[in-house]
Structure 1
């Protein structure tokens, strides 16, 4: 299938079709005219790093991001993140998305945890720069602060990125995590002025949330987020890069991958562009 020019920036994040094997995902993207793909380390590891890299290249697809590094408040983070950077380089993924990790066991000190994240990123910057991989700090909704991500706002992420060159450390803008923040438009403008937007991901917020809020994302157009307003605000910063559809939902994962991709494309064209 020839590519629809309206899909020039569209990227399927592999999380959206979690149970679609890598080879079927690549084939499905080619068949539906999708030229970009965001990858996840667990799925790449199952299929094989070198095998995935070769398959994606032979299909003519571009890898937009690799998810994820981070979890800096847990033991072993340094070696794991260096491996993640090397994997991103092998896949020719320009961006490694970082989810910071939650509070250390027994701690209630958010400020200290955020300082730990900033210091950890600084330790990784030389290796990332040498590998040609940009680190993207992703803020997650505050409900994840205790166990998954102490970086809760775009302002938090930008402050943590500030000591490092924008070419080395940027931020990931995810509508699911940031739509609620009344400062988001101001912070997006700041991110653009500082040259920090490394990737842009879209998902909708659906209610009621399912049990296990991590899996509460909806495909574009199925929830309450002003997705087009986000896209226009991100575009206004000068960002012209990929727009990934990244959804976590059991009901979505249980469907055939080709159907989910088709609906993702339709939602993107209707509610994001």
Structure 2
């Protein structure tokens, strides 16, 4: 486990070339405290054993990334197409995994409206989250809506600011629906610190990485290596009272210098050190 003054987590998206078992083994050995589970890495026949192995390794679960996590079909998960089937997939994920991850957020986003109708997408997402919020409450977990970066608009999402996400969350009418605050996605929002303050205790999970001008749909870098004012965003988030895991989530596909092709154990060490340094600065900046 880490010796950091906060719970340090890694999303399994950060180490996509590793298997689920390799993730758990390496994270436990590399000073990671928490794992953000990616459902797509689970074996359909062994998922219960795999989920239990996280606690056996001394790790906690920070959140779950469902295999189908958008209300409208997206580039990452285009099928199934019908809304009711996608909601059914999200419900099934909650029902089968919540018993192994009590209290954690299940992360979702809107998906892109096929006609670019942002207003309708927000209404559909609010209604779907209201329904899933009730399911989550019944199973002792929560839902976390993630606004994505403008690079993903009409590809993976219809919303791209924290305020838009909070409008959807409030319209859901469920106390079990909150915010997934991913700094890579929202750091360029106008008035981001005020939006984080508005979110308050509806921040259910936090993710970090760093920004360079993307060369593909998946081109994130290690915290501290890019343009994001990480310490300032951490300070704003800490001011809300957020006390959950701080999770590094990196995607690195279709670029010549993909982090997935390098030493991922060393990358995790760099992430841990950078998050610790940013946390320390967040108390002074």
Whether these two folds match at TM > 0.5 is yes
Within a 5 Å distance, the mapping from 1:9-28 to structure 2 comes to 9-28=7-26
What secondary structure, in the 3-state scheme, does the structure 2 residue paired with 1:66 have?
strand
CA distance in 2, matches of 1:253, 1:91: 28
What secondary structure, in the 3-state scheme, does the structure 1 residue paired with 2:225 have?
coil
Within a 5 Å distance, the mapping from 1:112-123 to structure 2 comes to 112-123=120-131
- Could you tell me which residue of structure 2 aligns to residue 133 of structure 1? 141
1:226 aligns with 2:229: yes
Question: Which of residues 95, 101, 113 in structure 1 aligns to 2:105?
Answer: 95
Deviations 1:166-189 (A, max 9, x none): 640000111100010122111101
Maintained 8 Å contact 2:35/2:62: yes
Maintained 8 Å contact 2:2/2:33: no
**C-alpha displacement of 1:163:** 3.6
What secondary structure, in the 3-state scheme, does the structure 1 residue paired with 2:244 have?
coil
1:8 aligns with 2:16: no
- Cα distance 1:128–1:4, how it changes in 2: closer, same or farther (>3 A)? closer
- Could you tell me which residue of structure 2 aligns to residue 80 of structure 1? 89
- Could you tell me which residue of structure 2 aligns to residue 198 of structure 1? 204
- Could you tell me which residue of structure 1 aligns to residue 132 of structure 2? 124
Which segments of 5 or more consecutive residues in structure 2 lack a partner in the other structure? 74-81, 281-285
Question: Which of residues 224, 238, 245 in structure 2 aligns to 1:235?
Answer: 238
Q: CA RMSD in A?
A: 1.8
Maintained 8 Å contact 2:118/2:159: no
- Could you tell me which residue of structure 2 aligns to residue 267 of structure 1? 274
1:255 aligns with 2:254: no
- Could you tell me which residue of structure 2 aligns to residue 157 of structure 1? 165
- Could you tell me which residue of structure 1 aligns to residue 62 of structure 2? 64
Deviations 1:22-79 (A, max 9, x none): 2122111221222211111101246831121121121121000001353212422121
- Cα distance 1:235–1:165, how it changes in 2: closer, same or farther (>3 A)? farther
Maintained 8 Å contact 1:114/1:150: yes
Which segments of 5 or more consecutive residues in structure 1 lack a partner in the other structure? none
What secondary structure, in the 3-state scheme, does the structure 1 residue paired with 2:37 have?
strand
CA distance in 1, matches of 2:92, 2:260: 28
Q: TM-score, normalised by structure 1?
A: 0.90
Q: TM-score, normalised by structure 2?
A: 0.87
